Structure 1
Amino acid sequence: MRTIEKHQDFESRFGEFPELLFARYDDTRIYFDMTRFLRSLKLDPERKISEFTEGFALWIGNLGKVYGIPPDELFAVDSATGHRLAEESLALPFLTCVDPVFGVYLLESMSQMLSVGIVCSDTYILMQAHDRFTVEELISTENSNA
């Protein structure tokens, strides 16, 4: 596991998980802060990170191989905070470990994409409806369907 000395500012990448923050640490790797995210959920970081690395070892190893990430670069420690970090490709399996309901959502979404050819998040659908219609139009549509 590598130790990170300097990095760019952390940024949120997923609207549904605003506390899951990512930062670039060198020219090639982006990591997310597992410790900060788990603390934001009031979960024990050490226990949950162990659960993730043990329970998802097959996924972690295969993602490393597929993306050509050396095993010692999959995880890191931020020298400034002591926080445990993980390479960005591990974000979705990590979220699945932390929130199994999210894992089910991912599987359902993938099934929909394979059978229908497209999938949109609920957040995206609501944003598009909000951008396209006024509140009055949405209420009118709801009342006419009743």
Structure 2
Amino acid sequence: MSSTPAVPSMNMANFSLPYPDELAKQFGASGFVMSIRRLYELLAREADDNDPVEAALLRKAAGHYPDTYPGGDVIIRDSLTNIVADEDDWDELTDKQKIFRGNVNAAIANVDRIRYELEMMIDSYDVADEVTRVRRELAAISI
């Protein structure tokens, strides 16, 4: 093993950690790419129970970086935060694919509605604990 430290490289959305030479040769991969936004979101989730203020700061920092696909490409979104497709492929989809995409969009709309309702309930002390629990569960499944 080399005694020289591996230096990660970065761009506006990702950083890349190089694999040790022997692993890179064995698996044919040069390194691990991770979204900066995803890292902040993971750290925020870890801090949720112990330090909510720190978790909020980490989530705010995550908001300054774009979403990325697992390979590192930036996810382009419209003004309503919907993912913008590279091209309009609706006519090329099968009926099953169209139904799936419609169901996904409907699920996203439902989650957005739940988040809105939770924001409206946040000032009520009677349900504050339940609202916090539901918001954390939504955050857990959205990451």
Q: TM-score, normalised by structure 1?
A: 0.25
Higher strand share: 1
Larger Cα-atom Rg: 2
Higher RCO (CA 8 Å, separation ≥ 6 residues): 1
